[in-house]
């Protein structure tokens, strides 16, 4: 078994489909490694290749060698200033069952699209889990990039936002008092509404820890749970914005574009359009959520959506084109 394991490790580049590139010397492949918990030794001893849509999966019993990027993180000094620390090191899994999913990244000298490649990998992992069980992709171990021509590995760390992108936290006496006031208001609402607010806040927090399309969709789920009881009528959101900004319903509908944002969400979810999401559209959708929540709790508006709209680089028309 050990000799076969070494053979597989040495010839990782041989697993890459030649049809993906015309010039392997200027190309690279994204590789994600997963723990396939409890995989059968007899089934995986010789390795199994499965070609998927735009990706290739390879299941094996043995070990994986990779570049470990898990040490990459923000470090904070005594003044609270962050510094991004890069900590790369060689990693090697213990003997066990593993799954590799690979997709072309840099093709013939043309740099790949990170978001698109991650989507292909994620969809492939979901497909394998659907057919082979959750344990087939039980735990993601790493994301690496391998140069096809040289076999050289590069690490790819998880995405994390700079804290300087956002305003500092507000723990003033006035803000803490407002939090307490909000909690009191929640306690006076009927149980069903309380439950919806709790679930909406869960999805809002999930959105804060994601990026791009996933962050946008999670933000919309939070809004839908919070203010769209029937799941299709956006009128309550526009009514909340109208009250928050002391404007008419029609003006709120035109100014804040909630219906058009709902349309973008539908294009993604129902039409299957793969659309990029600008980071300011993520922020904007989350700001609308905060404005609506404050209105539901009858608290003075922070006018967060307006603050995003006032940024010079904000252009809702461009963002909603999905390009």
Residue pointed to by tokens 């994301």: 143
Residue pointed to by tokens 């070494």: 6
Least confident interval from 114-118, 152-156, 290-294: 152-156
pLDDT at 38 (0 to 100): 92
pLDDT tens for each residue of 249-293 = 999 999 999 999 999 999 999 998 888 899 999 999 999 999 999
Is residue 102 predicted with pLDDT exceeding 50? yes
Q: Cα separation of 14 and 16, whole Å?
A: 5
pLDDT tens for each residue of 33-74 = 999 999 989 899 889 999 998 999 999 999 898 888 776 666
Q: Cα separation of 279 and 212, whole Å?
A: 7
pLDDT tens for each residue of 211-246 = 889 999 999 999 999 999 888 899 999 999 999 999
Is residue 7 predicted with pLDDT exceeding 50? no
Quick check: helix, strand or coil at residue 82? Answer: strand
End-to-end CA distance of the chain: give it in Å, rounded: 50
Phi, psi of 49 (to 5 degrees): -105, 130
Q: Cα separation of 139 and 35, whole Å?
A: 5
Least confident interval from 48-62, 109-123, 155-169, 253-267: 155-169
Name which of 239, 210, 230 is nearest 115 in CA terms: 210
Q: Which two tokens stand for residue 318?
A: 């461009």
Q: Cα separation of 44 and 59, whole Å?
A: 6
């Amino acid at each position: 078994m050990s000799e076969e394991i070494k053979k597989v490790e040495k010839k990782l580049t041989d697993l890459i489909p030649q049809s993906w590139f015309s010039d392997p010397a200027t190309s690279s492949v994204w590789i994600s490694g997963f723990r396939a918990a409890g995989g059968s030794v007899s089934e995986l001893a010789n390795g199994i290749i499965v070609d998927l849509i735009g990706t290739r999966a390879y299941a094996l019993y043995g070990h994986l060698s990779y570049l470990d990027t898990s040490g990459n993180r923000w470090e904070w000094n005594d003044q609270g200033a962050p510094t991004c620390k890069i900590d790369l090191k060689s990693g090697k899994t213990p003997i066990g069952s593993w799954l590799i999913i690979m997709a072309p990244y840099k093709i013939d000298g043309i740099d790949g699209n990170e978001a698109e490649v991650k989507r292909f990998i994620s969809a492939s992992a979901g497909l394998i889990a659907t057919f082979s069980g959750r344990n087939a992709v039980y735990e993601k171990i790493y994301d690496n990039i391998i140069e096809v021509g040289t076999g050289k590995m590069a690490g790819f760390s998880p995405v994390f936002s700079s804290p300087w992108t956002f305003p500092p936290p507000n723990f003033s006496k006035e803000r803490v008092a407002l939090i307490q006031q909000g909690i009191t208001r929640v306690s006076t609402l009927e149980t069903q509404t309380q439950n919806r607010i709790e679930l909406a806040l869960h999805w809002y927090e999930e959105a804060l820890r994601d990026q791009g399309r996933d962050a946008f969709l999670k933000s919309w789920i939070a809004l839908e749970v919070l203010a769209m009881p029937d799941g299709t009528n956006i009128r309550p959101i526009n009514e909340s914005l109208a009250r928050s900004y002391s404007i008419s319903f029609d003006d709120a509908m035109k100014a804040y574009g909630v219906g058009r944002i709902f349309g973008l969400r539908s294009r993604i979810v129902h039409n299957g359009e793969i659309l990029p999401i600008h980071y300011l559209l993520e922020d904007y959708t989350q700001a609308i959520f905060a404005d609506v929540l404050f209105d539901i709790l009858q608290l003075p508006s922070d006018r967060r959506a307006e603050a995003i709209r006032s940024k010079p680089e904000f252009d809702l028309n461009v963002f909603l084109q999905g390009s």
